[in-house]
Structure 1
Amino acid sequence: MNHLKTTRLALAATLSCAFLLPLAALADDQSPREATIIVSGEGDAAIAPDMAILNLSVVREAETAEEALRANSQAMSEVLADLKTKSIAERDMQTSNFSVDPLYRQDKTDDGSYVAPVIVGYRVSNGLTLRVRDLTKLGTLIDAAVKLGVNQGGGITFTNDNPEAAITEARKKAVATAIEKAKVLTEAAGVKLGRVIEISENFARPMPQPMYRAAMAKEMSDAAPIAAGENQYTVTVNITYAIAQ
């Protein structure tokens, strides 16, 4: 009998705890939240590029895929060999976007309908991505590549091999701007700035700029003029502060 009574008391205590726990959690949820202020600051730093990414393509068409491939390979081999003589390292040359595509012709009948398309030839495209670390050679490289058979591409992206110093400078400017903004806002509101709760950042690399898009004439008497300009690195910093009570 005593054992049964003890068991009932233990069960009642367990049920009481089970009901009290949600109430305690609810009480915690309803407790006053810490007052905060969220500010953001943007900083940027501009530096001259020291490297260019150049995209070139050799495109050849022929009646058969074999003929188109042979002509394309010969032209690209000459381009690669010439680039090596101009001190472009193999690590800075990469094949990209290689493709073999059929060329179709679709004739129209007398009644206005179309017959089934037929293959009339093949197009072989072989892309080449170059990292040019000496920007003074860029125009000459484009000129030589076109004369050797490059007939598509020409998109250039100016970049920096190691932009960390500029990014660090942009970060410092962004943080300083955010801190100053927080001070102004809290002073205007008549409250005091408390501890830092959270810091986050958004970093945007410079957008690729197609400074040169080659029409790829068969002959170019002068090296293509190139203007590198500057790259601007932008950082946005978000800081969450507590408001001192």
Structure 2
Amino acid sequence: MKKLLSLAIVALFSVSAMAQQTDLRRKINVSGSAETEVTPDIIYISISLKEYLKDGNSKKKVDITTLENELFNAVQKAGLDKENLTINNLSSYTAVAEKKKNPDYLASKQYRLKVSDLNKWNAIIGSVDPKGVAYTNIDSYDYSKIESLKKDLKIKALQAAKAKATYLVEAIGDKLGAALDIQEINNEIYPQPMYRNVMMMKAESADMAGAAAPEIDFKKIKLNYVMNVVFEIK
């Protein structure tokens, strides 16, 4: 009998504790969003230069140094710091050794160029002998003020959620209370860059020497944030 009474008392206290923990506050759950698109202003482009033979004549080789100087001069002419152009990989340094073994060896080098404007890029690559350009690629891109932009969008999304909750609650004659819970949903979209006419090394005829610079179709970075917020209804 005492054992049953003890169990009943424990059960009663458990139910009472659960009742005390139950949140009986009235709530409203809403979401707010904010989005924008920005044009990337940090663009990394890989460039591969390769020696070639003039008119197929093995005695008339366009040296990698000549092509390299053209690229360096074009970068400086575009007003970019020399630090913006770097060697992309260590294999570029094997050219000297290979040339000693094989005089007919056609050396190549890969570079990485940082630009903020694709118009400058078009001017740079347009100043380099197209027959000496093996390929160009856009490696990656970003926006210099991306973190500040993300912060502003999150604040705007949160404010939009509060504004929505306010007019919904006031429509039924109540007032909006404090935020009880906030959840962030990230919908960032970094589209892959699309580029055309990047394989330029295969130009065999002299009339290709005046070929236009690679045409690049660049998409914007789209940022979208959704804030899910639970407010108390007073």
TM-score over 0.5 (shorter chain): yes
Whether contact under 8 Å (1:58, 1:72) holds in the other structure is no
Residue 38 of structure 1: which of 26, 29, 54 is its match? 29
AA matched with 1:215: M
Name the count of aligned residue pairs.
Answer: 196
Instruction: Name the CA shift for 1:198/1:51 in 2 (closer, same or farther; >3 Å).
Output: same
Structure 1 SS opposite 2:213: coil
Instruction: Name the CA shift for 1:145/1:177 in 2 (closer, same or farther; >3 Å).
Output: farther
Whether contact under 8 Å (2:71, 2:125) holds in the other structure is no
Q: CA offsets per residue over residues 55-102 of structure 1, 9 Å max, x none?
A: 334579xxxxxxxxxx998688557634553443344335546679xx
Q: Structure 1, unaligned stretches of length 5 or more?
A: 1-15, 61-70, 101-123
- Partners in 2 of 1:97 and 1:83 — Cα distance? 21
Q: CA offsets per residue over residues 142-194 of structure 1, 9 Å max, x none?
A: 33457273323423755432245543443343223212332354456775432
Match of 2:144 in 1: 161
Written as runs of structure 1 = structure 2, the 5 A alignment for 1:202-213 is 202-213=185-196
Match of 1:151 in 2: 134
Match of 2:98 in 1: none
Instruction: Name the CA shift for 1:177/1:153 in 2 (closer, same or farther; >3 Å).
Output: same
Instruction: Name the CA shift for 1:26/1:78 in 2 (closer, same or farther; >3 Å).
Output: farther
- Partners in 1 of 2:70 and 2:12 — Cα distance? 77
Q: Structure 2, unaligned stretches of length 5 or more?
A: 1-5, 52-61, 93-106, 204-208
Written as runs of structure 1 = structure 2, the 5 A alignment for 1:74-89 is 77-78=68-69, 81-82=72-73, 84-86=75-77, 87-89=79-81
The reply to whether residue 237 of structure 1 matches residue 220 of structure 2 is no
Structure 2 SS opposite 1:43: strand
Q: Who wins on radius of gyration, i.e. which is larger? A: 1
Residue 216 of structure 1: which of 195, 200, 206 is its match? 200
Question: Normalising by structure 2, what TM-score?
Answer: 0.58
Q: CA offsets per residue over residues 90-136 of structure 1, 9 Å max, x none?
A: 44335546679xxxxxxxxxxxxxxxxxxxxxxx9865332203443
CA-based RMSD? 4.5
Question: Normalising by structure 1, what TM-score?
Answer: 0.56
